[in-house]
Structure 1
Amino acid sequence: MALQLKIIDSVEKLDYRVTVGDVASYSGISPSVVQKELLSLASDTFGNLQVTESGTIIYIFSKNLRTIFFKKNLISRLNVIWIKVWAVLFYLIRISFGVILISSILVVLAAIVIIITSLQSDREENNRYSNQSRGISFFFLPNFGDLFWIFYPTRSYNSFSSSKYKEDTTSEKITFLEAVFSFLFGDGNPNLNLEEIRWEIISRVIYNNKGVVIAEQLAPYLDGINKYNEDNEDYVLPVLKRFAGIPNVTSKGELIYSFPELQTFTESLPEKHVNTNFEEKLYNFTRISSSQKVSVVSLGVINFILVLVLGSLLKDQNIILELDGFIGFINSFYWFLFSYASLFLGLPLIRYFVIQSRNTKINIRNSKRKERSSVFNRENEVIKHKLRYVAQFLNQGKHEVSDSKLVYTTEKGVIEQSDNIDL
């Protein structure tokens, strides 16, 4: 920050139109440092560049440079703070769905107990209420217990120690509240760093081939290749742009691509094996264990049934009028309870089919990549001719930086190196 403020002071005193030499002379800072800081400052504060006929670069800044700079830095600091705050908020959001599920079950169950208790107490006074009470009790209580044992049967309890369950123990351990969120919404995109991996592999392919490659070598790592751009090799353009590549035409009109910036290397950088099977990862429905799935689904189903039972009880307006207060409050929010219970079971089902569709598309893309990789490995006549032409480029533009090629180093005295220096 102190260095940037010193650069800004110099720019302001030089009337916001400066060169590297101007600022270096005025501030006493190294020209190499000034150049780096001016470029950064111009980028952050929306400055402009002018180039003279002699090649000198002039940096033009706004008159409110300092204000823009502090605003930019404030936004950056606030962004850092927001990232930390969002991590906490997102955790609270994740566990909130589990909290709502448990709260819904407890609240609905309490409401049902209150209503049934009230109906049973009025049984002798009103036969209609008595019949309704016995009917509801018969419907609810036995089925609730049956439902519990359907999802936690005694016979299948030991199955959790089977090999299938042991496989699930490798799943990442998360709390039940987090498991609810994972079941509902999944665990995010498994290919967030796909582009980073893609460009790292492509750069290694280019380097391993001494900076000269053909399109078929890059094709297994690129997408968007179709019958329209496969022949003219337009799909290579993003690679050329990113790594400053140059297309070269063979005697037969075929294209090969050289990358001068990747042809200069040190001896310490060895060749690295490149996995030709560049694949996207498939989406998983959820990362939670089998036992957590059973728990989440069980509670979801129980909650849904309880909400339906409560809904049937609340149809009698006499109950709502008689038990006003808590029951009246629950009645006013019944739409929320029903919506949550329905979405809790419906959303994962919808997400399941969405995941199947996504994974189908991923498998298609992965298959196409494998197919393009096999095309290069088969080496037809066109590819063989291209590779022979590539051989002519090898070592022409690749510059190896080794100790034997050094002319001068500050590690030794000038006299020791006088034979290598033209004095």
Structure 2
Amino acid sequence: MNSPNSAIMQSIEELNYRVTIGDVATKSGLDVKVVQQELLNLASDTNGNLQVAETGDIAYLFPSNFRSILRNKYWQLRWQKWLEKAWKIIFYLIRISFGILLVSSILLMLIAIVVIVIAVNSKNDDDNNSSSRNGGGFLFFPRFWFSPDIFWIFTPNYQQRRYQRQLSNSKENELNFLESIYSFLFGDGNPNPNLEEKRWREIATVIQNNNGAIIAEQLAPYLDNINIYNERDEGYILPALIRFNGYPEVSEKGEIIYYFPELQVKAEVRGKVSVSPYLKENLWQFSQANSSQKILAIGLGIINIVLALVLGSLLTPEVAQEIGGLILFVDFLYPLLLTYGISYLTIPLIRYFWLKNRNNKVNQRNYQREEKANLLKSSKELELKINYAQQFANQTIISEENLAYSTEKDLLDQQLEQRNKIDEEWRKRLGNN
């Protein structure tokens, strides 16, 4: 058995547990047919009630603890909830593992280089080599790099200064050091993870704000790949008609308007919902790490690859065999260490240019949608079409007063109440006469 749709359950909660198909379709942006079937299934599974108005429209009433009822009924939901918690932990460990790997790589190569230098120096002293070699270029390079200043990034004073700067400009959900390494390497994911859901929610909101009757140009600012110069081609609205069960209507002048009966029915009176004038995509960020974290990540990457090159110049098969132990292990890992060092700086560089190209396309789409939204505001012709479309606007509220039937009560009792209501109306009419 499939798990209930999470977007529909969230919509029910946000709409105070009494909804119509149009309410949920507007809130979630889902297909009307999908919403209808899901609401029926949820009502059946959670002991929800159907309220039928005299017009034949239906409202669904759910208990406030319907999620608990579902969890107790379906082990899949309990398993899914556990998996979500487990994945958050696993993904966090994956994120910080790259930072741990970077620091471990640097420390391992530092230790290996120090061990090799000490071993070579010891051997040279035993063999009474000339002082020129001891003070020459071979050992000067390691001594230069391994002076105490190299450890400035690991000193407590540096960490304290960095955190003090962060406190002066602190933000919620700021990345820690290990997370910032992952963010520098791979970014922070899609900035528009629910773009399609957002698109259809905004489209449904526009339709419902106009009481279920609109023209195609009102939806254009939320859609893509529309030729703004071909004003007569309204084929782009077909997905909205299919999704929300809409119908076209042609005026005497040949203008087409579209009305959506299901989105004209509400469970209660609700005002117009604020909606963006056009669908705006967020730009892809290179990294959410702050400037200090990015500089630190780049610096550590440079140190990592320099150490790999230094280690490569010192590490020979003869040295590894002679020293053995840790150096043999490092000799085995060296190709991986060098590959990681190169990839650490190469991957962000490639990603930077890729994101730059992708953001150009995002800006272009945003500009086109904004242009359509501005056209909608400035065109008198479109204003006349919108006014004509409002002739088909309608709003049906399923209130407690106009219910013909509800599964909350016994059918016989409801029939008796309905009969009494009819008798009362007749008595009022006769009294007026």
Fold shared by both chains (TM-score > 0.5): yes
Q: Which residue of 2 aligns with 1:394?
A: 393
Structure 2 counterpart SS, 1:122: helix
- 1:364 equivalent in structure 2: 364
Counterpart-to-counterpart distance in 1, 2:161 and 2:330: 40
| Contact 2:210–2:390 (CA under 8 A) maintained in structure 1 | no
Tell me which amino acid in the other structure corresponds to 1:131. Answer: R
User: Which secondary structure does the structure 2 equivalent of 1:251 belong to?
Assistant: coil
Q: Secondary structure at the match of 2:219?
A: helix
Does the C-alpha gap of structure 1 residues 267 and 177 become closer, same or farther in structure 2, counting only changes over 3 Å? closer
Rate the CA distance shift 1:354–1:215 in 2: closer, same or farther, 3 A: same
Q: Is the 8 A contact 1:246 1:258 kept in 2?
A: yes
1:223 paired residue number? 224
SS at match of 1:188: coil
Letter in structure 2 aligned against 1:337: L
Q: Is 1:417 the equivalent of 2:421?
A: yes
Residue in 2 aligned with 1:342? 342
Residue in 1 aligned with 2:116?
Answer: 115
Distance of aligned partners of 1:209 and 1:325 in 2 relative to their CA distance in 1, 3 Å threshold:
same
For residue 302 of structure 2, what is the aligned residue in structure 1?
301
Deviations 1:129-152 (A, max 9, x none): 973884233113324556666999
Give the Cα separation in 2 of the matches to 1:80 and 1:166: 35
Q: Check whether the contact 1:122–1:130 (CA below 8 A) recurs between aligned residues.
A: no
Task: Tell me, yes or no, if the aligned pair for 2:184 and 2:289 is still in contact at 8 Å.
Answer: yes
Other-structure match for 1:319: 319
Residue by residue, what CA displacement relative to the aligned partner does 1:9-42 show, whole Å, maximum 9, x if unpaired? xxxxxxxxxxxxxxxxxxxxxxxxxx9569999x
- How big is the shift at 1:418? 3.9
Q: Which amino acid aligns with 2:284?
A: Y
Distance 1:128 1:161, change over 3 A: same
The equivalent residue for 1:131 is 133
Q: Aligned partners of 2:374 and 2:248: how far apart in 1?
A: 24
Distance 1:253 1:286 in 2: 52
Offset of residue 292 of structure 1: 2.2
> 1:196 maps to which residue?
197
Structure 2 residue identity aligned to 1:105: I
Does structure 2 retain, via aligned residues, the 8 Å contact 1:408–1:421?
A: no
Identity of aligned residues (%): 43
Give 1:309 deviation, angstroms: 0.3
- Cα–Cα, structure 1 residues 151 and 364, in superposed 2: closer, same or farther, change >3 Å? farther
Residue in 1 aligned with 2:235?
234
Task: Please report how far the alpha carbon of residue 258 of structure 1 lies from its aligned counterpart in structure 2 after TM superposition.
Answer: 0.5
Match of 2:266, SS?
strand
CA distance in 1, matches of 2:83, 2:403: 49
Instruction: Give 3-state SS (helix, strand or coil) of 2:119's partner.
Output: helix
Cα distance change, pair 408–242 in 1 and its aligned pair in 2 (3 A): closer
Greater CA deviation, 137-146 or 336-345?
137-146
Provide the C-alpha distance between the structure 1 equivalents of 2:326 and 2:378, rounded to a whole number of angstroms: 75
Structure 2: which 5+ runs fail to align? 2-38, 46-73, 428-433
CA distance in 1, matches of 2:184, 2:328: 32
Q: Do 1:407 and 1:417's aligned partners in 2 also have CA atoms closer than 8 Å?
A: no
Change (3 A) 1:327 1:390: same
Cα offset, 1:183, TM superposition: 1.3
Over residues 155-203 of structure 1, what are the superposed CA-to-partner deviations in whole Å (9 max), with x where a residue is unaligned?
xx989978xx678522623332222111111111111122222222211
| 399 and 173 in structure 1: CA distance in 2 versus 1, 3 angstrom threshold | closer
The whole-number CA distance in structure 1 between the counterparts of 2:369 and 2:271 is 26
> Over aligned residues, Cα RMSD in angstroms?
3.9
Determine the C-alpha separation between the residues in 2 that align with 1:405 and 1:394: 21
Q: Which runs of 5+ in 1 are unaligned?
A: 2-34, 42-72
What residue number does 1:105 align with?
A: 106
**Distance (whole Å) between structure 1 residues aligned to residue 42 and residue 304 of structure 2:** 62
Q: Which residue number in structure 1 is paired with residue 377 of structure 2? A: 377
SS in 2 for 1:247: strand
Say which is worse superposed, 134-143 or 268-277, in terms of deviation: 134-143
1: distance between equivalents of 2:153 and 2:178? 22
Aligned residue in 2 for 1:51:
none
Shift of 1:75: 6.8
User: How many residues end up aligned between the 2 structures?
Assistant: 352
Q: Which moved more, 1:173-182 or 1:120-129?
A: 120-129
* CA distance in structure 2 between the partners assigned to 1:188 and 1:332 by the alignment: 34
Cα deviation, 1:211-234, whole Å, max 9, x if unaligned, reads 110011111111232369763211
Task: Look up the SS of the partner of 2:258 in the other structure.
Answer: strand
Deviation of the 1:389 alpha carbon: 2.8
Contact 1:119 1:130 in 2 (8 A): no
- Distance in 2 (CA, whole Å) between partners of 1:320 and 1:286 is 40
Distance 1:260 1:326, change over 3 A: same
Q: In the aligned structure 2, how far is the partner of 1:132 from the partner of 1:251?
A: 100
CA distance in 1, matches of 2:401, 2:80: 49
Which structure exhibits the higher relative contact order, with contacts defined as CA atoms closer than 8 Å and separated by 6 or more residues? 2
Partner of 2:31: none
Corresponding residue for residue 177 of structure 1: 178
- Cα distance in 2 between the residues matched to 1:242 and 1:325: 67
Q: C-alpha offsets along residues 230-281 of structure 1, whole Å, 9 cap, x if unaligned?
A: 6321111111111110011222333211001112235521112222143111
CA contact (8 A) 1:119 1:129 kept: no
Contact kept? 1:243, 1:261, Cα under 8 Å: yes
SS of aligned partner of 1:333: helix
Supply the distance in 2 between the matched residues of 1:105 and 1:194 (Cα, whole angstroms): 40
**Preserved contact between residue 228 and residue 372 of structure 2 (Cα < 8 Å):** no
Asked if 1:254 is matched to 2:255, the reply is yes
State the distance in 1 between where 2:293 and 2:364 align: 32
More divergent stretch after superposition (140-149 vs 116-125): 140-149
Q: In structure 1, give the amino acid aligned to 2:274.
A: H
Counterpart-to-counterpart distance in 2, 1:127 and 1:160:
49
Q: Is the 8 A contact 2:212 2:259 kept in 1?
A: yes
Distance 1:169 1:135 in 2: 47
Cα-to-partner distance string for 1:338-397 (whole Å, 9 max, x where unaligned): 01111111111111111111211111111111000011111243x2442343143234xx
Is the CA contact 1:198–1:221 (under 8 Å) kept in the aligned structure 2? yes
